[in-house]
Amino acid sequence: MSPRIPLRKRLLVRLLFASALIAVCSVAATAWLAVATTTRAIREEQGQDLAQDMDIVARLSGYAATHRDWRGVAPTVRALAASTGRRIALTTADRTLIADSASRGTPLPTGAAATVDPLHSDTYTEPGAQLSGIDPRAVGPYRVTAKERATLDALAGRRQRCFRDNGIATAVERTPSGRPVLTRPDGSALSDYVPDACADGRLNTPTRTETRALTDLNGRVNACLDAQHLPHVPVMLWMEPGAQGQDDQVLLGKFARQGDAAAERRAEACADSARRAQLDPYVAPVAQLFLGGGDRTGPRFDMSPANKAKIVGAAGLVLAVTVAVTAVIATRLVRPLRALTAAAQQPPERHVRVPVTTRDETGILAEAFNDLTERRERLEAQRKAMVSDIAHELRSPLTNIRGWLEVTRDGVVEADAALLASLHEEAVVLQRVIDDLQDLAAADAGTLRLHPEPLRADELLGQVAAAHRVAADAADVTLVTEVSGTPWLAADPVRMRQALGNLVSNALRHTPAGGTVTLGARRDGDDVVLTVADTGGGIAPEDLPQVFDRFWRAEKSRSRRTGGSGLGLPIVRHLLAAHGGTAEAASEPGAGAVFTLRLPGSRAPAAAPDPDGAPTPPPV
């Protein structure tokens, strides 16, 4: 009786544990994925909110840059609040309300979201960012008049046509000051190249309004430079904002003290402060911007106790379903395994089979078990038959030897030369059977010793033919050899002569007088093929699969005089297997039999002489 399997080692328990572990891992992975996805969604939404907030600041900064005060901003605030769903409120620095999209009396948020100051923030040049420069829409005294704009538009159109005539496509865009500029069709700045016919410079000449504002700005900058004891620096009007990375409207000229980084920074600070002072009367005062959540106010992700209970409940349900399904599957899987175990524990002589009820791995295992049982039963039958055959083979010569010795001892027959020759023949038969059994035992045990060496197939066939020439002549059978080329093989010459000798002896016994036994050799790719063909009666098709079985004879009389010991062909098969080759038999009744031996070929030794004495080159 088999020992009881511990609970922790049972297949069912292992499967249940594995399924539970898988379920826990899957639930944990799903929860992690859900949290990660939610977190990513929240971050994306926060990014969208930030971009929306910057857009609100940009819109309001643009209003401040183009208006002297905040009067009339209320419609703009309400429109922004309606499009974004946010509460928008503007106050002065001391929180005096300017405009509010919420109803009167609604308290302001705790802190301001941003400061709206077009002279100290630029959200227009780079969308989504809040720079420290001056908003380009704050043009103040640089805004051209309607008459100047008409003149500049005419110049821009003329210059655009000139560029087109020279094969350059352009587009006309308008700067915040109302001045038209030429750009590429995609809106990017033109290159520095200007056709000579178009380089009249009229479009880039400041108008009277721009000249007055620029003169005023130069005076303000020079006053600051004088206070800093720095040389004067001219301030020029930049006619193509956006080109070459220049987003400002004015450009500081060449500083006289180049290389003095500190002085250059002070000069730039003078230009910035002067420009802000010049634009200040034209822009709205600094305001505080307050933003609220509007209709979307509330937590974006709430891990409340109820949500936690839902997650725990869902995880427990998944775990319970997984365990239940696994238990059902494991039970169905273990049932055929138990049947296999019960069949394997039966006595060997019963050869019990198990029913195959499925086509999965368990069904395949059951089929393999049944095949193993059949092979074991067949081997047992072969073992019994072999013991019987061995006893039969040894009994006959031993009975003859014992009988003749007894009658000789009793004086019934004299020990003459003929009697001794008969006894010697029986001893030879007995010795041959014992040698064959010893070879088979060595082959089965894997202890068959081989001494391979380079061997020419034609020489091997010649030696075998010479050894059986006398027996062939006695049986009136012609023994010939046919060799194609000069095939070489690496083999044990003694064992190969033994294998071929067994085949030739078998062929001579089954070939009638006047017949022919042919030994052949040829090369087939990397292999060498040796054949032994006879012109005897052949082998019946139903007997071909058994010719290499031990003690099998075609003659049902089991006569050793005509059928040998029944061990020659099994020995041939084992010898070929030991050499890494194969042995096959083919026959047609009445047309003889052909035994084919296929062995790995080898290269000829260097300068190996052929039968005529000339060296044989190695095969290519």
pLDDT score of 126: 62
Of 48 and 362, the structure prediction assigns the larger pLDDT to: 362
> Which amino acid is present at 63?
Y
Looking at the structure, do residues 471 and 550 belong to the same domain, yes or no?
Answer: yes
Residue 564 is predicted with a pLDDT of 54
Question: What integer pLDDT is reported at residue 520 of this predicted model?
Answer: 94
Over range 333-340, report the average pLDDT: 78
**Domain boundary residue among 303, 319, 345?**
345
Top pLDDT among 186 and 597 is at 597
The whole-chain average pLDDT of the chain stands at: 79
Segment among 149-163, 318-332, 377-391, 403-417 with least mean pLDDT:
377-391
Which pair of structure tokens corresponds to residue 481? 């050899």
Distance CA 181, CA 149 (A): 12
Identify the pLDDT of residue 256: 59
DSSP assignment of 160-185 equals: HHHHHHTT---EEEE-TTS-EEEE-T
Q: What pLDDT, on the 0 to 100 scale, is given for residue 208?
A: 92
Domain assignment present for residue 114? The answer is yes
**355 occurs within a structural domain:** no
Which pLDDT belongs to residue 75?
92
pLDDT over 50 at 384, yes or no: yes
Residue 533 reports pLDDT greater than 80: yes
Instruction: For residues 171 and 117, state if they share a domain.
Output: no
Regarding whether 507 and 371 lie in a shared domain, the answer is no
Average pLDDT over residues 301-325: 70
CATH, residue 371: 1.10.287.130
Structural domain contains residue 384: yes
> Looking at 231, 248, 282, which one is the last position of a domain?
282
Q: Quick one: pLDDT band at residue 307, thresholds 50, 70, 90?
A: low
For residue 286, the model assigns a pLDDT of 92
Count Cβ atoms within 10 A of the Cβ of residue 379 and give its class: 0-12 exposed, 13-18 middle, 19 or more buried.
Answer: exposed
More confident residue, 400 or 519: 519
On whether both 165 and 250 belong to a single domain, the answer is yes
Q: How confident is the model at residue 40 (pLDDT cuts 50, 70, 90)?
A: low
Percent pLDDT > 90 in the chain is 15
Asked if 278 and 253 touch (Cβ cutoff 8 Å), the reply is: no
CB 123 within 8 A of CB 57: yes
CATH number at 485 reads: 3.30.565.10
CA distance 464 to 526: 24
Is 351 among the domain residues? no
- The residue assigned the tokens 């308008």 is 174
- Domain holding 41, by residue range, is 1-132+285-345
**Region of poorest pLDDT, from 74-83, 224-233, 437-446, 460-469:** 437-446
337 is a domain residue: yes
Q: Is residue 318 part of a domain?
A: yes
**Quick check: 554 pLDDT over 70?**
no
Number of domains in the chain: 4
Encoded amino acid at 200, one letter:
D
Beta carbons within 10 angstroms of residue 544's beta carbon:
15
Q: Which amino acid is at 250?
A: V
Characterize the bridge pairing of strands 478-483 and 516-524: parallel
Asked if 278 and 143 count as a contact pair (C-beta separation under 8 A), the reply is no
* Predicted local confidence at residue 235, as pLDDT: 77
Q: Are residues 113 and 54 in the same domain?
A: yes
Q: What is the pLDDT of residues 457-487, one digit of tens each?
A: 999 999 989 888 888 898 899 999 999 988 9
Q: Is the pLDDT of residue 560 over 50?
A: no
Examine the pLDDT at 298 and tell me if it is beyond 80: no
Last residue of a domain, one of 385, 412, 442: 442
For residues 146 and 260, membership in a common domain is answered with yes
% pLDDT > 70, the chain: 77
**What single string gives the DSSP state of each residue in 405-433?**
HHHHHTTSS---HHHHHHHHHHHHHHHHH
112 and 21 within one domain:
yes
Closest CA to 268 of 246, 247, 251: 251
- Residue 114's beta-bridge partner residues? 289
Whether the pLDDT of residue 205 is over 50: the answer is yes
d(C-alpha 264, C-alpha 254), whole Å: 10
**Which position has the higher pLDDT, 51 or 55?**
55
For residues 239 and 318, membership in a common domain is answered with no
Q: How far apart (Å, rounded) are the C-alpha atoms in residues 112 and 350?
A: 94
Flag the least confident range among 109-118, 320-329, 438-447: 438-447
Please state, in angstroms and rounded to a whole number, the distance separating the CA atoms of residues 195 and 10: 91
| pLDDT over threshold 60, residue 419 | yes
Question: Is 9 found in the same domain as 103?
Answer: yes
CA atoms within 13 A on the CB side of 32: 6
CA torsion 132-135-139-140 (nearest 10°) is -70
Does one domain contain both 248 and 382? no
Same domain as 606, residue 475: yes
Residue 414, phi then psi, degrees to nearest 5: -85, 145
Are 27 and 155 part of one and the same domain?
A: no
Q: Is 270 exposed, middle or buried (0-12, 13-18, 19+ CB in 10 A)?
A: buried
354 domain-assigned:
no
* 3-state DSSP helix/strand/coil % of the chain, to nearest 5: 50, 15, 35
Q: What is the mean pLDDT of residues 177-201?
A: 82
As a whole number of Å, the end-to-end CA separation of the chain is: 66
522, two tokens:
């040829």
Query: pLDDT by residue (tens digit) across 222-270?
Result: 899 888 888 887 877 766 554 433 445 566 666 555 667 888 888 888 8
Smallest CA-to-CA distance from 594 within 529, 513, 497 is with 529
pLDDT of residue 544: 76
CA distance 501 to 492: 14
CB-based contact 548:570 (threshold 8 Å)? yes
Whole-angstrom Cα distance, residue 512 to residue 319? 82
586 domain residue, yes or no: yes
Where does the pLDDT of residue 540 fall: very low under 50, low under 70, confident under 90, or very high at 90 and above? Answer: confident
